[in-house]
Structures are given as structure tokens and as C-alpha cells.
Chain A
Amino acid sequence: MAQQPYKQVMTRQQIFAASLRRWLIPLGVVLLILFAVIYPQLIDKQNIWNLFFLICLHTTLSQSWNILAGFAGQTSLGHAAFFGIGAFVTRTLWLDGTPFALAFLAGGMATVAFAMLIGAPTFRLRGAYFAIGTLGVAEVLRITVSQNVPFISSMPGPMMAAYDLAPRYYLALGLAIVTTGAAYLLLRSPWSLGILAVREDEGAAQSMGVHVLGHKLLALAFSSFFAGLAGGLFAFQQISYYPAAPFSPLWTFDALLIAFIGGLGTLAGPVIGAIFFILVRQQLAVTLVEIHQVVFGIFFIIIVLVFPGGLVEAAMRLRRIRWPKRPS
């Protein structure tokens, strides 16, 4: 074993700063959750509930994309397919009289089953097959659903009369927390090294005995389950919508953009990205009605090309500038 060149001596202030830093993140998380729980109740306005709901929904969707693309390195261009299947199954079962909790879980499970159907053949091959496959599934489902179920899906009268946004928001908040928590646990699990190794170098991982296909499918299962639940949540919240709407490629794009704004492959990325994205979109949609998607598209291209680390990496860099001599 190599000897440490010198013992790191910390002053009392540095010890205090280090322990503070260790507690800073959990404290921040708790404060953020408390804020998310209490603030909408204090204001209690429809648009605030709605805004917070959207942030949670997008956090979930983007985190689920991040599990697959950021951790396992498998780019899905058809997350809308998972979102849409979850929405479709949940909505159909729920409006048919199934208890919502059951329909919600069934939506998630159906999405996983469908994802495996696409993942198993495409993950065997390297390259872009999985991306093409998911893009294809999303578009084909969108077209097929819009042709076969062209009518708007509305909640029946009594359900609409009892409609309340608050429980829907708390479900969304819970789902966002559970998804991020699951991503955290996945990173702490025995599989995490395998998943990250597959992202870094498939060939090297395989030669070390990592079961590449298994780890990819595991990440896909996690990812599609939460994407499906996000779809179910959308189906629960919307009073009426076209059944083909959740299959729109815009949902995929939102998930991608948020993950890239926040920081791909980080836990905090999708959360920060979703807050930023929803707040900015709310402004842009008002001022640049028609071309706000164009602005986001260009923004996304620039991030991917120039700042692939997103906001989280930018913050890290800033921190490095402020504390050049961090004890490692």
C-alpha cells in the first residue's frame, strides 16, 4: 500500500465546514420537500397548484429518462411511448371502474412489459438500435392510437364534480420523491457499478464479466416503470385530453431537455432542470407563443454541443473556484 504523502491536517474551521457540507445536501432536500408541501397550501391558487404539479410530473419523467440514459448510457428517443402507455392503461382501467391505485400500478407494469419487448431485441446490438426502436414505438403508437381512438377522453360528470387538484399534486410530489429516491438507491445498489460500467465501455464491462444485457434491461425496467407511472399521473390529473396526446414526441423532448439542463447522469439534475424548465417555459409560452419550442430546441442543441454537463456541472465548477483547497 502506498503511504500517504502527508497527513491532512484540518483546522477546526475546516472540520466544521466539512461536516456542514455533509449535512448541507440532506438539509437542502428536506427544506425543498417542506417547501413543496407547505407553499402551495399557503397560497392555495389554482395556477400555483398546477405549476408545482407540472414540476413534479416533469421531474419524474426526466428522472426516469436519466436512469436509463444518464446511468446506463442507453439513449431512448421514445420516452413518450412509455409515458403514453402508462397514461392509456391507467386511464382506461380507471374510467372503467378499477380503483385508481390498482389502475396506476397496472399502468406502470404494462409499460415495463412493453419496454422489455423493445429492449430485449435492440439491446443485444450496439449502436443506435435501441434509440431507433423506441422512437419507432412512440410514433407508431401515437399514430395507431390517434386512428383507432380518435375521440377525446373526458372524466364522467360526478368525477369531474369531485375534482380537486391538491391530492393530485401530492401524488405527483410523492412520485417525484419516490422516483428520485429509487434512482438514489439504484446508485447505492450492488448493480450500480455494472450499470455505470455498461455506460462507460460495454466491451470492457463484458470482458470483466458484467452481464451487459441484464444490466441494460434492469435500468430499462426502472426507467419505464416510473415513466409509465408518470403517464398514469397525467391520466389522473387531466380532465379531458386526446388519448394520442401523451404519445407526442414533445414529452420525450421535455424529458431530454430537462435532464440536459440539470445535468445528465446526476441525481439532482432532473429536479433542478424541471424547476428551471417549467418556470422558464411558463414565461416563454406567454411572450413567444408560437416559437417558444424553437427557442427550446436551439437551447437544447447548444447545451448538448457546448455544455454537456448542465447546471450541476456548472455549479461544481463554481464551487471549485470558491474553495480551491478542498480536503479530498
Chain B
Amino acid sequence: MSIESFAQTLVFGLFVGSIYGIAAMGLALVFGVLKMLNIAHGELLMLGGYATFWAFRTFGMDPFVSLAISIPLLFAVGLILDRTIYHRIVRLLGEEKIKNSLLVSFGLTLVIQNLAIWLFTADERTVQVSYAGVGFNLLGVALPYTRLLSLVIALTATLALSYFLHRTYPGKAILGTAEDFEAAELAGINIHRVYMLTFALGASLASIAGTLVTVIYGISPSIGIIWTLKALIVIVLAGTGSILGAFPAGILLGVVEAVSGAFIGPTYREVIGLVIFVLVLILRPQGLFTRK
């Protein structure tokens, strides 16, 4: 393998990994604060992708501009799901909570996926922008504009989330609740509002990832569970409880997948993530990016 093609593989791994990172960050946020696992996260991602696709199809809207529609839309979906379903689970304690959240969100996965098949058909859809396939060359490495823009958006979203969590009042309330919900409640934080906001934020992050997925790969109702899985592997890599650590971990997974896929062939690429998952659990169960 030549140096150029290796560098190309690395760069594409970086691009893919940034999407893994942004998908995992939403899931990690919900997991870190509400302490429950939302298997339907990939389904929210898929809905966000369809919002982008329909905005492009009906209004000819640029997919990156349509984030202005898909983010608030999924924010609203997140609010509704939290009010109707998830707030019933948040009340439970410990193991019971996580077990019920797994079961319920697994059921929700089926509901959303089949609704999407019914509404949008099972066809794979793609968004063709005018600048698709165009890009520039840096030392023999192709950098398509769509992928570069995706990377920029993923980075911006990560920085914005970091700023929101560490510098604003509601963000600090979220972090406080994640640390100790009882102490947060005693300090006067309305934790149910925090949970609602967190879940909606997680859904919004999923919609950003969904838009990027739609631009780069295209979309069909069945992609949800695959992205949930990637996000879960990334969370285990980053260490559960690490919210922003999900972004570098996502990039790591993307690069490792791309490089190993280039060596052992693309049909076994999916196995890599699982092997990493098991290895991390055996060797470093607290995750790669957490101290302790």
C-alpha cells in the first residue's frame, strides 16, 4: 500500500469517525445524565436524515442548511418522547432503570423503523448536491467538500456542546444532575426539566449526525440500528460517563475501521468494531479516555 493511499484511508477514517463521534455524543449525553441507554438513538438519527432528505426533495434546500429544520424538529421529537415514554423510566432506580430503558427503546426502534418504512418506503434515498464529488487535492490526498463540511459541522457541534455544558447555566445544571441528581435537586435544580432538555439535546445531536449520514451515504429506514451500534461501541471506547470524550473515541473507531478494512477487506469491516468492543471490556473496562 502506497503512502498516498494509506493517508487517504486515514483521512476518510477521520471523516467517518467524526460522524461516529457526533452520533455517539448524543447517546453518551443521554446515558450520562439520564443513566439509561436509548437503543432508539439510531432511529432518531434516521428521522433527522429523512428531515434533511425531504427538505432537499421538496424545497431543494441544501442539506447543510436544512440542519436549521432538522435540529428543531428532532428537538421537538425528543421532547415528545421524553414526555410520553422516557420520563416513566427515569423514575426507576439503578439496574431496573437501565433494563427497562433497553427494553422500551428496543421496542421503540421497531415502531419508528416500521413507521418509516410505511411512510417513506424501504428504498434507499440519496441527496445529490451540486458540489458532490468536487474537492481539492492536498499532497495527493483527495478532500471532497461534502466530507470537509461534515467534519467542520461535527467539530462545531462538539465545541458548541462543550461551551454549553461548561459555560452556561442550563448546561451546568445538566452536568450537576449527571454527577448527583439528588444533590442537584437539593440545590434547586428542576431535574425533570433537565432530563427533558437533555433528551431533546441528544435527539438534536442525532439529527445532526443523520444529516451528515444522508449527505455522505444516503438513507433508508433500516440504518438506525447500525448507527446505534456504532455509537454504543464508541461509548464503551470512551468510557461510560464521558460525554465529550465520545468525539475523539468516534474518530479513533473510524480510523481503525478504515485502516483495518483496507487490510482485511470491506466485508468483515463490521466485525472490527465488535472485536474492539470485547477487547476494551477485557483490558480496560473503564474506557480509554477516563482516568481512575
Contacts and interface: CB of A to CB of B under 8 A. Distances in A.
Nearest to B88: A305
Interface string B228-250: 11001100100010000000000
B178 interface: no
Nearest to B268: A144
B226 A75 contact: no
Contacts of B89: 305
B261 to A, nearest CB: 12
Contacts of A147: 267
A294 B111 contact: yes
Contacts of A126: 95
Interface in A56-85: 73, 75, 77
Given A77-B39, A125-B281, A136 B110 contact: no
Interface residues on A, range: 35 or more
Given A121-B282, A128-B37, A305 B274 contact: no
A139 B114 contact: no
B107 A297 contact: yes
Given A129-B236, A291-B114, A300 B107 contact: yes
Interface in B1-45: 37, 39
A305 B118 contact: no
Nearest to B37: A128
B104 A305 contact: yes
Interface string B241-280: 0000000000000000000000000011011011001100
Nearest to B98: A128
Contacts, number: 119
Interface in A63-114: 73, 75, 77
A293 interface: yes
B225 interface: yes
A267 interface: no
A287 interface: no
23 contacts: A73-B95, A75-B99, A77-B106, A122-B278, A128-B102, A131-B102, A132-B236, A135-B225, A135-B229, A137-B274, A144-B267, A249-B225, A253-B106, A253-B110, A256-B106, A290-B117, A293-B114, A294-B115, A297-B111, A298-B107, A301-B107, A301-B111, A304-B107
A-B pairs, 6 with minimum CB distance: A297-B111, A297-B110, A300-B107, A293-B114, A147-B267, A301-B107
Interface of A: 73, 75, 77, 117-118, 121-122, 124-129, 131-133, 135-137, 139-140, 143-144, 147-148, 249-250, 252-253, 256-257, 260, 290-291, 293-294, 296-298, 300-301, 304-305
Given A128-B37, A140-B271, 18 more contacts: A127-B240, A128-B98, A131-B37, A132-B236, A132-B277, A133-B277, A133-B281, A135-B39, A140-B270, A144-B268, A249-B110, A249-B225, A290-B114, A293-B114, A294-B110, A294-B118, A305-B100, A305-B104
